[in-house]
Structure 1
Amino acid sequence: MKILILTNRVPFPPNSGYPIVVYNTIKGLLQLGLEITLFSINTNKHRVDVDDIYDPVFDSIKFHSFSLDTEVNVWGALFNVFSNQSYNVSRYFDDEAAKLLEDILRENEFDIIQFEGLFVVPYLDIVKANSKAKVVYRAHNIEFDVWERIARTEKFTPRRMYLQFLARRLKVYETEQMNRFHQVFAISEQDRQSILRFGCETALEVFPVALDFKKYVTDPSKTSFPTLFHLGAMDWRPNKEGLEWFLDEIWPDIEKLSSELRFYIAGKNMPREFFEYDSENLVVEGEIFDAIEFINSKAIMIVPLLSGSGMRVKIIEGMAMSKCIIATSMAAEGIKCEHGKDILIANTADEFYRSILQCITNPKKWREIGENARKTVERDHDFFSISKRMLNIYQKLVSA
């Protein structure tokens, strides 16, 4: 079976949420004997030098990419207001990229063409005009929901109104496009329910984040305690806003609990204000080379997310590394976890304080939660079993 996968960024190396999801999908399908072709938009924001990719998964696929500047442009945003297009999405379409994709489709016959996220959907017309393959859409997030939630937290009125405008236009586009596919994959049950509510009539299945657990090996001897940590890209606004809230409203009281307690924060595009934060117990590392090693070396993961959609891959990775995770309900959305068993849910400053206090005064508690977390993700997120289920759906689509 021949599969073409379209992505809005190059998923190599798999060092953040979207690339991890796509990478593990490709890896699992390759192990099942499928022939994979990958077409990626290589954006300036997430630029990857393809010549520097050294990965057996990459060597096992046919790869095509198109370099594109998708950065927000003031004039582009202004002119877009007077069009009927979603500016969030239209920035990812380019006529030359479409021509390259058209050539790939004319030279190859595919059984399945899978669109990884909304930002490659502008190329759906090209695909339908040049291929008889079944088309599949994977919703990594409910994109308009992300922007609606961001708009609700924006205090500056003109910016809030513009964000609401973007969210409305994105919602129209997202809901219209969903029914143009033969199959839709949601990342979580919550997202599946949301997709159904806004009128999806296409076949719909849930495929959560998948992990290869051979990569997630813990070494407790290298874990320092008492330590808290947060890991996430700071160019994603919900991550930045959640961490700001935690540092302003919660951390000043937390660091008084113990002079030995340290809070480590890491992630790419770390804002300058975090480095300048007035706290001797706060360690800002910025972008790190090895996320797994970083997670292993710390004890308790803090995820104070206040907005967003989809499934937080870093939480799944933290659970795979047997970490006790203290997160908001928003952050844990979509993950089949149970408060007090394999995660601790905290939605207020007081709840975060009490959860952290409980963990640092009772080390047995956070270790027990971490061990349960590992069992939970092994049950729900094994990439090989998820890949086999995906292949079954492909086979049904092709034979229909």
Structure 2
Amino acid sequence: MKVLLLSHRVPFPPNSGYPIVVYNTIKGLLSLGVEVTLFSINNSKQYIDVDDIYDPVFEKIKFHSFTVDIEVNVWDAFVNIFSNQSYNVSRYFDHDAEKVFENILREQEFDVIQFEGLFVVPYLDAVKAHSKAKLVYRAHHIEHDVWERLAHRERFTPRRTYLEFLSRRLKAYEMEQINRFHQVFAISNPDRQKLLLMGCETRLDVFPVALDFDKYKIDTTKTSFPTLFHLGAMDWRPNKEGLEWFLDEIWPDIEELSGELRFYIAGKNMQKHFFDYDSDNLIVEGEVFDAVDFINSKAIMIVPLLSGSGMRVKIIEGMAMQKCIIATTMAAEGIDCKHGRDILIADTADEFYRSILKCITQPNKWQEIGKNARKTAEKHHEVNTNAKRMLDIYIELVANQEEPLSS
């Protein structure tokens, strides 16, 4: 089985949500004997020096990449208003990248070509012109849903109007493209339902975030208590928005609970104003070298998301590391978890306060929730189990000699 994956960023190293999902997909397929080729848009915002990649998974695949500048250009954004394209998506398309990609398709035949997210779908026409492979689209998010929710929370009218415009364009593009594939993978059951409501008539299956649990080794002797922590990329707007809300509306009361309580904030692209919150009890670390070690060293995970879509990879990682996670309903959306059993759900300042107080005063409670979380994660998010199911679908698709999809 020869599979080509397209990604809108290089998934090495796998140190945040999207790279982790793509990386573990590759790792799982390789373990089953699949021959994997990866073509990545090495975008300017998340640029990776390919020469510095040292990873055993990387060594086992055929890798191609092309650097594309995706920085927002005010003039281009303005001109885009008068087109019929989504500016969020069109920034990832480059004619020279398409030519490189076409050469890959000419030189090798593939059984399956999988598009990892909406931002590589502009290269679908090239695939249809140069390949007879079965086409799979994996929706890491319902992209327009993220922007709709951000717009709903925006109070500055001009910005809200523009966010609503972007979300409408994204929705139109997603709905146009969704039935141009042989197979669609949603990352959660709620996202599957949204895709159906968008008019998806393509075969549709759910593939949640998958982890290699050998990587997530728990050492409770290195876990300090009482500690809270938040870990997430701060260049993703929902993370920034949620953390600001927690720090402004909730943390001042939490800080008074105990002089020994510490709250650690970490994540790449930590914006400057977050360091202004730094105090004796609140430590802003920025990007950490080893996320697993960081998670292991802290007790209670805080995920205060107010918008977003898809499945939060960091919550699955926290569950894998046996953490008690206190999260909003939005943050936990799509994850098979139950309040009070393997997670604590809090949607208001008062609910966060009560949950954190419970964890601090009842250490056995947060430890029990953490242990249950690990069991739940192992049950639903094991990489090899997911890879085997994905390969079975590939085999079925290839065996199905139906008429080719229309362009």
State the Cα distance separating 1:280 from its structure 2 match: 2.4
- The match for 2:215 is 215
What are the equivalent positions in structure 2 for 1:335-346 lying under 5 Å apart?
335-346=335-346
What are the equivalent positions in structure 2 for 1:366-377 lying under 5 Å apart?
366-377=366-377
Distance 1:274 1:197 in 2: 38
Distance 1:184 1:277 in 2: 43
How big is each residue's C-alpha offset from its partner over 1:41-82, in whole Å with a ceiling of 9 and x where there is no partner?
A: 001111101111001100000000000110111011011011
Answer yes or no: is the 8 Å Cα contact 2:6–2:114 preserved in 1.
yes
Distance 2:237 2:119 in 1: 18
- Number of aligned positions between the proteins: 400
* Moved beyond 2 Å, runs of 4+: none
Distance 1:38 1:269 in 2: 26
SS of residue matched to 2:208: coil
- The match for 1:132 is 132
Q: Give 1:160's aligned amino acid.
A: R
How big is each residue's C-alpha offset from its partner over 1:216-259, in whole Å with a ceiling of 9 and x where there is no partner?
A: 00000000000000000001010011000000110000010000
- The match for 2:404 is none
- The match for 1:313 is 313
Q: Give 1:259's aligned amino acid.
A: G
Identity within the alignment, %: 77
Q: Give 1:147's aligned amino acid.
A: W
SS of residue matched to 2:260: coil
Distance 1:236 1:378 in 2: 27
State the Cα distance separating 1:278 from its structure 2 match: 5.8
Distance 2:279 2:34 in 1: 52
Q: Give 2:20's aligned amino acid.
A: I
SS of residue matched to 1:185: strand
What are the equivalent positions in structure 2 for 1:137-152 lying under 5 Å apart?
137-152=137-152
Distance 1:165 1:241 in 2: 20
What are the equivalent positions in structure 2 for 1:1-400 lying under 5 Å apart?
1-277=1-277, 279-400=279-400
SS of residue matched to 1:330: helix
Answer yes or no: is the 8 Å Cα contact 2:278–2:284 preserved in 1.
no
State the Cα distance separating 1:122 from its structure 2 match: 0.2
Unaligned stretches of 5+ residues in structure 1: none
After superposition, the Cα gap between the structure-2 partners of 1:127 and 1:362, relative to the gap in structure 1 and judged at 3 Å, is same
SS of residue matched to 1:170: helix
Distance 2:72 2:138 in 1: 24
Distance 1:228 1:303 in 2: 10
> What TM-score results when the alignment is normalised by the length of structure 1?
1.00
Unaligned stretches of 5+ residues in structure 2: 401-407
Aligned-residue Cα RMSD (Å) equals 0.5
Distance 1:252 1:165 in 2: 36
How big is each residue's C-alpha offset from its partner over 1:6-52, in whole Å with a ceiling of 9 and x where there is no partner?
A: 00000000000000000000000000000000000001111101111
Q: Give 2:291's aligned amino acid.
A: A
Distance 1:82 1:118 in 2: 22
How big is each residue's C-alpha offset from its partner over 1:94-145, in whole Å with a ceiling of 9 and x where there is no partner?
A: 0000000000000000000000000000000000000000000000000000
Q: Give 1:182's aligned amino acid.
A: H
Q: Give 1:79's aligned amino acid.
A: V
SS of residue matched to 2:253: helix
How big is each residue's C-alpha offset from its partner over 1:305-344, in whole Å with a ceiling of 9 and x where there is no partner?
A: 0000000000000000000000000000000000000000
How big is each residue's C-alpha offset from its partner over 1:139-165, in whole Å with a ceiling of 9 and x where there is no partner?
A: 000000000001111111111101100
State the Cα distance separating 1:279 from its structure 2 match: 3.5
